[in-house]
Structure 1
Amino acid sequence: MNALEHLARTNVLFLNWRDPAHPQAGGAEAYCFEIARRLARSGARVTLFTARFPGSRPVEWTDGVRVLRDGGTYGVYPAAARHLLGNRHTYDAVVDFQNGIPFFSPLFTPRWTADVCVIHHIHQKQFDLFFRWPMNAVGRLLEKQISRLVYRGHAIVAVSPSTREGVRAELGFRNPVYLVPNGSPSPSTVPVVRAAAPTIAVVTRMTPQKRVDLLLRALPALRERWPGLRVDLAGDGGELPDLRALARRLGLDSTVTFHGHVTEERKRALLGGAWLTVVPSVAEGWGLTVIEANSMGTPAVAFDVPGLRDAVRQGHNGWLVPDGGPLSDALATALTELSDADARDRADRRCRAWSARFSWDDSAERLAQVILEEAGRVRRHRRSRRRDSDLTVLTSFRSPNGDHVERTLKTLLRETDRWTRQGDAFQLLLHGCDELRAFQALRRLGVPDAAFRLAHRREELVAPETDSPGEDVRPWPTTDQPAARDRREPA
């Protein structure tokens, strides 16, 4: 029985700033709802509490999820607190999504509630983009010092290794931090024809931190070399009027098309027809737009910043540019490589293969494991023998008594540990421990002889990769820049 099945008939509350129907919804809302509806599909009673917007209903059911809307952009926070206080004994678990400022759910729930905080990315530097003093300082205080105090000891979920590093280095959290990456869109059944002429497609919210203006400023130099270059920009946001004005000043009216908000089908058509997508953001939690483009066979050029350095594998599904480096040079390198039809075909295969390694089903299962782990912790009132650590150990071994080992693993491993079996061969990912503690855990599991090493970032995000026979794995040229149920105490 998997973790999702163990959450059947439990009451789970999701707290998120917006829901997918909100006009300004983005990747954070997709992450929240894709997982919420999978919990509901597995039998959990899921409620999503979020902000109201003009024309929205206060109560609505969507894909088995009860959506409650109250408060506005900032009024949603006190409204959520009132809801939690009025339903203190209703929810078994609360998943609190921190979009800069969390909902501080542990202040309003009983101690036996499993409170899990999900952090997409760190906003400490971005508060200055939206607020002036003193509100920017208040935002930093709430995200850092106050959050660190309120969520002390509770489980934290990060969507990427970059976010986990920010949780430690910038916020100073000492909580257990678990990785639950984004999923990938389901494969498209609509045939898409790749454009014959060089084409760039960008689908994003037009906000300051996305830095779409850097792409526009790089286009005049590129157009000299590729006069037929086309750029499709899709998405709404406060920066859209300024970006339109900038494009006119740069003489890009015949090159750039602003599509505004587009449907999911139109988004896929734009990304699937392009040679390339560009993500010039100052930082991302993960880089969902990269994976969405990859799912259509389209590689990405992105700055080497938190989140995007995890989503983009240099020379495999895109190119990473040092933050602050010339974007035009990187785009020229990418377009030159992709000018060959065979290279575009190889890029298509690589990107689709990378995207296929992520799924919302797996993301939902991993978050369910964290909820179960946290529920077990608050019931046991004691910690695992393993101390909190951001290291993960990959270990493999063989056993002639595979069925007995499998029963032991199911009983003694943490909810958030992952393992696979092929015949008498086992492979384990032990989260939150170094090699010494992994050795001690394996001894307690009755495994006297095993090979193990520290897992790298990609292995924490997805299962170990095996290349398909005949797959072209030659790297592209780089740019010129340097680039929760009660159990016995777990092992």
Structure 2
Amino acid sequence: MTALEHLARTNVLFLNWRDPAHPQAGGAEAYCFEIARRLAGSDARVTLFSARFPGSRAAEWADGVRVLRGGGTYGVYRAAALHLLRNRHTYDAVVDFQNGIPFFSPLFTPRWTADVCVIHHIHQKQFDLFFRWPMNTVGRLLEKQVSRLVYRGHSIVAVSPSTREGVRAELGFRNPVYLVPNGSPRPSSTPVARAAAPTLAVVTRMTPQKRVDLLLRALPSLRDRWPDLRVELAGDGGELPDLRALASALGLDATVTFHGHVSEERKQALLGGAWLTVVPSVAEGWGLTVIEANSMGTPALAFDVPGLRDAVREGYNGWLVPDGVPLADALDSALTELSDAGARDRAAQRCRAWSGRFSWDDSAERLAQVILEEARRVRLHRRSRRRASDLTVLTWFRSPDGDHVERTLKTLLRETDRWTRQGDTFRVLLHGCDELRAFQALRRLGVPDAAFRLAHRREELVPPPADGSGADDTGWPATPRPAARERRGPA
């Protein structure tokens, strides 16, 4: 039985700054709703509370999710608090999305509610891009010191290893932190022809932290080397008028096309027709646009910054720009490598393989596991008194009595641990566990001999292969056995 099935008939509240219908919705909103609607599809009673925007309804249904809206850009926090106070006995679990400032749901829910905080990326250095003193200081205080106090002991979800590192190093959280990555969009069934001329496509919100201006400033020298270069920019936001003016001032009117907000179909057409997508952001929680482009067979060029260094595998599905390397030079190098049609085809195959390892179904299952683990902790009144470990141990072993081991795994493992079985061979990911504790756990399982090592961050992001085909590009060890059966925590 999956974790999603265990949440059937439970009441779950999602708190997010915006919902997918909001004009400024982006990757964080897609993450929230893709998971919320999958919980609803498993018969959980799911409510999404977000900000009201012009022309929106106060309440409606979308894909089985009840969407409630209240307040505005900042008034949504007060409106959400009032909703929680009025319905404090309604919800079994609250998933609080921290978009810079969380909703502080533990202050308004009973102690038996499973409160989980989801963090996409750390905003400590970005508050200065949007606010002046003293509001930038207030924002940093709320995200760090106040959040650390309010969510003390609660489960935290990070969308990438980079975000988890920021939760520890920048925010100072000692909570258990679980990885639940973004899924991958399902590409259109309509084939998209790759452009014959070198083409860059960027689909993003036009805001300061996305730094699209860096791309525009790199284009004049790049265009001298690639006179047929075309650049497609899609997305809306407050920076769009300034970016249009900058493009004109740089003489790029014949090179750059601004498409504004585009439909999902148009976005896939732009990404699928390009040779390369560019992500010049100062930081990301993950870099969903990288995976969206990869799903269309298009590699990405991004700065080597938090989040993007997890989404981009150097030389596999794209390239990372190190500090000190001019963006124009990095673009020229990538375009040169992609100038051969055969090279573009090989890159497309790698990109689709990488994006195919992520799915929203798996993301929803992993978040459901965290909710169940938090509910269990609350039920047992457990609160960690020591610093939580971010280590994950990968172990694999064989047992002559595989059925007995399988029954034991279902009983002893936590919801957030993951395992697969191929015949009499087992592979297990133990979250928050070093080698010594892994050895002790295997002794309790009755396993006398096993190999184990610390898992790579990539192995935490993507699920183990379930087809028994052996080692793959994620680094899971080869186990050439048929009929793999994947489990995630107790069934």
* TM-score, normalised by the number of residues in structure 2: 0.94
Superposed displacement of residue 387, structure 1: 6.7
Q: Is 2:52 aligned against 1:52?
A: yes
> Is it true that 1:460 corresponds to 2:486 in the alignment?
no
Q: Give the corresponding residue for 1:483.
A: none
- Does residue 178 of structure 1 match 2:150? no
Kindly tell me: are residues 135 and 384 of structure 1, through their superposed partners in 2, closer, same or farther at Cα, counting changes over 3 Å? closer
Determine whether 1:110 maps to 2:92: no
Structure 1 position 446 matched with structure 2 position 446: yes
Bigger shift: 40-49 or 318-327?
Answer: 318-327
Residues 418-474 of structure 1: CA distance to partner in whole angstroms, max 9, x if unpaired?
A: 0000111100000001100111111112212110000011000013479999xx99x
- Preserved contact between residue 17 and residue 50 of structure 1 (Cα < 8 Å): yes
Q: Secondary structure at the match of 2:242?
A: helix
Q: Percent identity?
A: 89
Q: What does residue range 79-90 of structure 1 map to in structure 2 within 5 Å?
A: 79-90=79-90
Map of 1:267 onto structure 2? 267
Question: 1:233 and 1:169, CA in 2 relative to 1: closer, same or farther beyond 3 A?
Answer: same
CA contact (8 A) 2:188 2:265 kept: no
Check the 8 A contact 1:234/1:260 in 2, yes or no: yes
Question: Would the aligned equivalents of 1:387 and 1:433 in 2 still touch at CA under 8 Å?
Answer: no
Partner of 1:390: 390
Change beyond 3 A, Cα 1:415–1:395: same
Once the two structures are TM-superposed, the CA of residue 385 in structure 1 deviates from its matched residue by: 11
Question: What whole-Å deviation, never above 9, does each CA across 1:211-268 have from its counterpart, x for those lacking one?
Answer: 0000001111111111110000000000000100000011000000000000000000
Structure 1 position 15 matched with structure 2 position 15: yes
Q: What is the distance in 1 between the residues matched to 2:255 and 2:212?
A: 15
Task: Report the Cα distance in structure 2 between the residues aligned to 1:147 and 1:415, rounded to whole angstroms.
Answer: 25
Residue 14 of structure 2 contacts residue 46 of structure 2 at CA under 8 Å; is this kept in 1?
yes
Q: Which residue pairs with 2:374 in the alignment?
A: 374
Instruction: Report matched runs for 1:26-425 at 5 Å.
Output: 26-382=26-382, 388-425=388-425
Indicate if the aligned counterparts of 2:175 and 2:384 stay in contact, CA closer than 8 A. Answer: no
In the alignment, residue 164 of structure 1 is paired with which amino acid?
Answer: R
Shift in Å at residue 382 of structure 1? 2.9
The gaps in structure 2 that reach 5 residues or longer are 474-489
Cα drift, residue 409 of structure 1? 0.5
In the TM superposition, residue 386 of structure 1 has moved relative to its aligned partner by 9.7
Task: Decide whether aligned partners of structure 1 residues 386 and 190 sit closer, same or farther in structure 2, where only a CA change above 3 A counts.
Answer: farther
Contact 1:280 1:303 survives alignment (8 Å): yes
> 1:308-335 deviations in whole A, cap 9, x for unaligned?
0000000000000014531011100000
Q: Does 1:437 align with 2:437?
A: yes
Q: Distance in 1 between matches of 2:25 and 2:348?
A: 28
Contact 1:388 1:433 in 2 (8 A): no
> Matched residues in 1 for 2:31 and 2:413: separation?
27
Compared CA separation, residues 219 and 36, structure 1 to 2 (3 A): same
Gaps in structure 1 of 5+ consecutive residues:
474-489
Distance in 1 separating the partners of 2:142 and 2:54: 28
CA distance, structure 2, for counterparts of residue 464 and residue 183 of structure 1: 15
* Alignment partners' CA distance in 2, 1:324 and 1:234: 27
Q: Residue type matched to 1:213 in 2?
A: D
Report SS of the residue matched to 1:184. Answer: coil
Q: What amino acid does structure 2 have at the position aligned with 1:450?
A: A
What is the TM-score when the length of structure 1 is the normalising length?
Answer: 0.94
Query: Per the alignment, in what secondary structure is the counterpart of residue 362 of structure 2?
Result: helix
Mapped partners of 1:181, 1:114: distance in 2: 20
* CA distance 1:355–1:386, change in 2 (3 Å): farther
CA RMSD for the aligned pairs? 1.8
> Is the 8 Å Cα contact of residues 177 and 390 (structure 1) preserved in structure 2?
yes
Cα distance change of structure 1 residues 40 and 124 upon mapping to structure 2, 3 Å threshold: same
Where 2:55 maps in the other structure, the secondary structure is coil
- Structure 2 CA distance for aligned equivalents of residues 308 and 377 of structure 1: 33
Paired with 2:443 and 2:467, the residues of 1 have a C-alpha distance of 33
- 1:383 CA drift (Å): 5.6
* Alignment match, 2:477: none
Shift of 1:184: 0.2
